[in-house]
Chains A and B, each alone.
Chain A
Amino acid sequence: MRLPQLTLNQKLAAVALVLGALALFSQPHRGPFVKLDARELALVVEQEVDHVKPAELAAWIVEGRSDYRLIDLRTTDEFAGYHIPTAENAQLPALTEYPLLRNEKIVLYSEGGIHSAQAWLLLRAQGYEGVYTVLGGLDGWKDEVLFPVLPVEAGPRERAQFERAAALAQFFGGQARTDGAATTEAPATALPKLAAPTATAPAMPTAPRRKKKEGC
């Protein structure tokens, strides 16, 4: 079969059509420059829906949830020393190249909260919608999950809460502190050895929730 004779213009038009059709699948390159909706971001921050409390994160880990990506922004050495179970290590400059999906729930943490907040802004600006930071960073994780402190004037309610927290701390290899504010100056808080949390505590965080359900 012979192809019909095409003029040069018709051939060029055909090439343009083919290239245009292929371009349907194109992904234009996105460089390091971003646009962001300042008002939307300000609202998200104002409404405090941009962070996850350490206790919430701990509950997710205990439940074995896999619908989130926990990103540790500290250095490789610090990460090797200790990190929150299930965390992955990615440093801030490489974060935009790190394989994250825009539709994933991404939870960031750093030592305090500054780097993770900055990384949060970078990712939000690049169109990652579900980005959160761990409130207080690793410090918050230590204070709230690993080494919770029983308040000095604790009522029975606080005491019950503390017991759950203590069990959680044990689960993550930490140690609850019952001596109140006295020891907060010099905490005996050697970080636990890195080990997958395989202890026998998982019943603990689910217990209060079940109770709550019954109450409703």
Chain B
Amino acid sequence: MMTPFYKYGLFGDEISLLVAFVLGLGFGFFLERAGFGSARKLAAQFYLYDMSVFKVMFTAIVTAMLGVTYLGWLGWLDLDLVYLVPTHLGPQIVGGLVLGVGFVVGGYCPGTSVAALATGRLDAVVYALGIFAGTFVYAEVYPAIQGFVNANAMGQVTLPEVFELPWGLVVFVVVVIAVVGFWGATLIERRFRSEP
């Protein structure tokens, strides 16, 4: 059997929404389990005394990357069919910075704010209202910034394609970066925790 199931027509649009809902529940559950339903925990990342966000996110990246690689290797997943968000380098760096500032100021990122909302946190309600307001403003100014948003179109690219490296090598390097990063993050935590 080959995946992705959706692209191979194993289920249609309606079922895909259901699948997305179940995946979303799982995502929210594990965000909450990691403590990311709390803005304190999330903001701690930026004060460097709790690197959980970095560790959890990078663990998710490595797990997914290894899973996708091995499923592809076994021939169970067609990597060419997996949708990738098209890369627009410049606009996405700016977008990342905007999201980062919102993350520090509001204490949540979009996913965690919804998880926090589900557990009834008031700050998350304010944050969610901010998301709607921001979405509205973005839609209104979109015609003016359209040119920039669509600049630097690189298509659906992956690191192995951009750097012209073998897939397996990139996987290995990312794993090494992650493991070194976890080790470094633990050192940083110790250092900043001792001087509160």
- Which of A's residues lie within 8 Å of B, judged by CB? 9, 12-13, 16-17, 19-21, 23-31, 33-35
* With known contacts A26-B70, A29-B78, A17–B179 Cβ distance under 8 A: yes
Q: Pick the residue among A9, A19, A28, A33 that contacts B182 (CB under 8 A).
A: A9
* With known contacts A13-B179, A17-B175, A23-B168, A28–B62 Cβ distance under 8 A: no
Q: Return the CB mask of B160-186 against A: 1 if under 8 Å, else 0.
A: 000000111101101110110010000
Taking CB atoms and an 8 Å cut-off, the chain B residues in 48-74 that contact chain A are: 59, 62, 66, 69-70, 72-74
Interface status of B124 (Cβ within 8 A of chain A): no
Q: Return the CB mask of B1-24 against A: 1 if under 8 Å, else 0.
A: 010000000000000000000000
Q: How far is the CB of B73 from chain A (nearest CB, A)?
A: 4
Interface status of B79 (Cβ within 8 A of chain A): yes
Known pairs A28-B167, A29-B73, A34-B80 / 13 extra A-B pairs, C-beta < 8 Å = A16-B66, A19-B66, A19-B70, A20-B174, A23-B168, A26-B168, A28-B69, A28-B72, A29-B72, A29-B74, A29-B79, A31-B79, A33-B80
Interface status of B134 (Cβ within 8 A of chain A): no
* A143–B2 CA distance with the chains assembled, in angstroms: 46
Measured between beta carbons, the chain A residues less than 8 angstroms from B178 are 16
Question: Nearest residue in B to A20 (C-beta to C-beta)?
Answer: B175
Q: Are A26 and B73 in contact (CB under 8 A)?
A: yes
* B interface: dominant SS: helix
Measured between beta carbons, the chain A residues less than 8 angstroms from B169 are 24
* With known contacts A33-B78, A33-B81, A26–B176 Cβ distance under 8 A: no
Question: Nearest residue in A to B155 (C-beta to C-beta)?
Answer: A35
* A28–B167 CA distance with the chains assembled, in angstroms: 7
Q: Pick the residue among B73, B80, B167, B171 that contacts A31 (CB under 8 A).
A: B80
Q: How far is the CB of B7 from chain A (nearest CB, A)?
A: 9
- Which of B's residues lie within 8 Å of A, judged by CB? 2, 59, 62, 66, 69-70, 72-81, 166-169, 171-172, 174-176, 178-179, 182
Measured between beta carbons, the chain A residues less than 8 angstroms from B69 are 23, 26, 28
* A35–B59 CA distance with the chains assembled, in angstroms: 31
Measured between beta carbons, the chain A residues less than 8 angstroms from B73 are 23, 26-29
* A20–B70 CA distance with the chains assembled, in angstroms: 10
A-B contact pairs, 17 of them (CB 8 A): A9-B182, A13-B179, A17-B176, A20-B62, A23-B66, A23-B73, A23-B167, A24-B172, A26-B72, A26-B168, A27-B73, A28-B79, A29-B73, A30-B79, A31-B2, A31-B80, A33-B81
Measured between beta carbons, the chain A residues less than 8 angstroms from B174 are 20
Residue in B59, B77, B175 with the greatest tally of chain A CB atoms within 10 Å: B175
Measured between beta carbons, the chain B residues less than 8 angstroms from A19 are 66, 70, 175
Measured between beta carbons, the chain A residues less than 8 angstroms from B70 are 19, 23, 26
Measured between beta carbons, the chain A residues less than 8 angstroms from B171 are 20, 23-24, 26
Q: Are A25 and B66 in contact (CB under 8 A)?
A: no
Q: How far is the CB of B153 from chain A (nearest CB, A)?
A: 15
* A25–B176 CA distance with the chains assembled, in angstroms: 16
Measured between beta carbons, the chain B residues less than 8 angstroms from A17 are 175-176, 179
Q: Are B77 and A29 in contact (CB under 8 A)?
A: yes
Measured between beta carbons, the chain B residues less than 8 angstroms from A21 are 172, 175
Residue in B77, B81, B172 with the greatest tally of chain A CB atoms within 10 Å: B172
Measured between beta carbons, the chain A residues less than 8 angstroms from B168 are 23-26
Q: How far is the CB of A33 from chain B (nearest CB, A)?
A: 4
Nearest 3 A-B pairs (CB), nearest first? A20-B175, A31-B78, A28-B72
* A34–B73 CA distance with the chains assembled, in angstroms: 17
Q: Are A16 and B175 in contact (CB under 8 A)?
A: yes
Q: How far is the CB of A126 from chain B (nearest CB, A)?
A: 11
Q: How far is the CB of A69 from chain B (nearest CB, A)?
A: 24
Question: Nearest residue in B to A31 (C-beta to C-beta)?
Answer: B78
Q: Are A29 and B75 in contact (CB under 8 A)?
A: yes
Q: How far is the CB of B64 from chain A (nearest CB, A)?
A: 12
